[in-house]
Structure 1
């Protein structure tokens, strides 16, 4: 019996090892913090291709160096030894290093269904990276938008209780009247039988997508948690409903050049009006403690969180993960583009970096040195422009969709 038991344990161990086998990763080290290089100073990147944490020889490594200075370099090497890349940049900004590994047959290494590779970098004079010129009437424009919103009474259009899956949490599918042509639409969760003025409140946002809100049950166990969808559309509908919108009315929303020429017609204006109305609604709830009002989101949700903190002085905490729409005019000054709309003057009024300059509450940001949906230079411009207490956590090798398990992190913070 004991022998059989040991054999079973051995088989489980072998099966577990087989499942772990073949996990590719890159180690990347710079000769100093990737945030602390001076202009023109040599940067040295040392990279190693790993499989299950051990060096993986016999692969071809194809690398490219691009950057906010417009320079491009490339080369090839073998994974038999560490790959060392030396470069520099002579203007405030970031260098991007990409490495793609290939096997002996020229096939790329894969991580699941995706090509595997490294994407990261380093910056010079990072503290000097700034955004573009904020429009002189930026504050006046948003004051006028708030005035338009105030003309629409704060009114619940629909409030339908839905199953939270937790007997201690109540949840509602909620729609609220709003300016801009679409209502606020989301899920509101909070503890059952909460006393008046007993709960903190949090407004949550999602990334770029044509989807409904998710039910924030976990957050709703201890606070008022309201997650809204970006568009004011229905929540909890079949996938076909969202696909129809994605391929029709909301196709490439936010990317239409004709809309972005004017501040009044950019799609993001309505998005901001809806988050302002959602905050207004949260503050009207009797259970809110009248003190703590947090906003949080990632990517597009990070943009929304920053806009909320900038435009509502009652917001007390802001978390923006890999925030989108930072320094949108940066591409006109030679910075790496990222995934974002073409620059147009109307976008100056919804730039996350510009919103950052208006925030008064503490802000926490997460960013990737390999995220070229939301390029590091734009996120640095956001961080540098914030005068409130702030913290940013950078991760080497983090892209927009992938965060390495054991990557180095680098923290900047200021009171």
Structure 2
């Protein structure tokens, strides 16, 4: 091979493999922070301590000078200072708490002008955390009336096959159906083989985005919905970014002063309408149906199970919209942190929040559920999530991944999927 041909050959190889050799990055310094107690849980009045270690190239950094700040999560720190870790490890004393809750410790380390940080969070009798939100006397009557309003609206479903997404096992459709205002759009996955199948409704996290098919290799119907009344199959479109930064920016605050017009009214009812749609499918077995989601979706899974007694099982990861009024009582409130800033603390908005707070839906959940989250979550603070979890009266399991933040481990997702599929009888 001539030098010119060799050069061309190597160039073609480089182009062909470019998509498989993209660079990855990671932090040079890794800070590990965790409660000194193995389970991360303390009692009220007990001294709280955190273990801290600083690593570089997998080795402890001797004489690492750190700064730390600790206190109730999402609140101003009550303990702060500096500490030199002689051998790269040490302990931080974070005081005591007289009431159930969480203490978070943030550690920072600077090297060559670059700052690195990480957090650890300890629970203080978290199973004793009680909600701050109020349950309106007409809470159930309010939502019963809205469900009757929804029932009077024809479903008018549309199903459009997506051939490129379909598999040898399942057909995939872009679907829509009428809601109390506008339509709900989603991605439906349905086995090709004639028969009756269980179903899973997957409700979305916050934001505006397209959605993909799920469980296309299994004998189950899955429906993943969006909540904003826009198609969810525009995979290469900038529409979602434009909406997120424009017309739907801060949608979670829209009309908060009016319980009849608050944005989540159509969202909560849209989840019920998605169950209506599943029940309209000839291939649905008519009984076995579950709901699952994370963050906003974790909230919607609880809401859907509470409002719609056709749901048999639920999985909720780090549920948002829980104990929204926490900030008004000097502690962390749930996402979207509506009352963290004084300008939102208007009586009408607070009163509306009671009708949409996940805690108040959790009180009426009467089916088995798996719940999972971590202590380091700063989007959906664990104080708010425990406020909802602790009032659930039905069979429930809590799978903790203590050091997880607002994300989940692959094993955590697998655990939830396996739990749900086994409940629904899917192999």
Q: TM-score, normalised by structure 2?
A: 0.81
- Count of matched residue pairs: 374
Question: Which stretch shows the higher mean deviation, 333-342 or 142-151?
Answer: 333-342
Tell me the residue number matched to 2:92.
Answer: 85
Tell me the residue number matched to 2:201.
Answer: 203
Tell me the residue number matched to 1:135.
Answer: 136
Q: Which runs of 5+ in 1 are unaligned?
A: 1-14, 110-116, 407-415
CA deviation map 1:130-152 (0-9, x unaligned): 11221111111110110110110
* 8 Å Cα contact 2:101/2:124 also seen in 1: yes
Q: Which runs of 5+ in 2 are unaligned?
A: 1-20, 340-349, 413-427
Question: Which stretch shows the higher mean deviation, 292-301 or 82-91?
Answer: 82-91
RMSD of aligned C-alpha atoms? 2.6
Matches within 5 A, 1:382-393: 382-393=388-399
CA deviation map 1:145-191 (0-9, x unaligned): 101101101221x2110032522110110010111x22110010021
CA deviation map 1:334-386 (0-9, x unaligned): 11246414232212111112211111111111112111110111111111011
Matches within 5 A, 1:263-278: 263-278=259-274
* 8 Å Cα contact 2:167/2:216 also seen in 1: no
Q: Secondary structure at the match of 1:275?
A: helix
Tell me the residue number matched to 1:398.
Answer: 404
Tell me the residue number matched to 1:94.
Answer: 102
* 8 Å Cα contact 1:331/1:337 also seen in 2: yes
Query: How far apart, CA to CA, are the structure 1 residues paired with 2:81 and 2:114?
Result: 17
Matches within 5 A, 1:10-409: 22=28, 24-26=30-32, 28-31=34-37, 33-35=39-41, 37-51=42-56, 53-67=58-72, 72-79=78-85, 80-86=87-93, 87-103=95-111, 105-109=112-116, 117-131=117-131, 132-156=133-157, 158-162=158-162, 163-179=164-180, 181-195=181-195, 197=196, 199-216=197-214, 218=215, 221-237=218-234, 238-256=236-254, 259-337=255-333, 339-343=335-339, 344-401=350-407
* 8 Å Cα contact 2:31/2:52 also seen in 1: no
CA deviation map 1:39-60 (0-9, x unaligned): 1111222122234654233543
Tell me the residue number matched to 1:7.
Answer: none
Query: How far apart, CA to CA, are the structure 2 residues paired with 1:107 and 1:165?
Result: 48
Query: How far apart, CA to CA, are the structure 1 residues paired with 2:364 and 2:125?
Result: 23
* 8 Å Cα contact 2:55/2:61 also seen in 1: yes
Q: TM-score, normalised by structure 1?
A: 0.83
State the shift of 1:29 in Å: 4.2
Query: How far apart, CA to CA, are the structure 2 residues paired with 1:161 and 1:380?
Result: 41
Tell me the residue number matched to 1:114.
Answer: none
Pair 291,220 (structure 1): closer, same or farther in 2 beyond 3 Å:
farther
Query: How far apart, CA to CA, are the structure 2 residues paired with 1:27 and 1:72?
Result: 18
Query: How far apart, CA to CA, are the structure 2 residues paired with 1:77 and 1:128?
Result: 33
State the shift of 1:254 in Å: 0.7
Q: Secondary structure at the match of 1:385?
A: coil
Question: Which stretch shows the higher mean deviation, 242-251 or 318-327?
Answer: 242-251
Question: Which stretch shows the higher mean deviation, 55-64 or 120-129?
Answer: 55-64
Query: How far apart, CA to CA, are the structure 2 residues paired with 1:92 and 1:70?
Result: 17
Q: Secondary structure at the match of 1:277?
A: helix
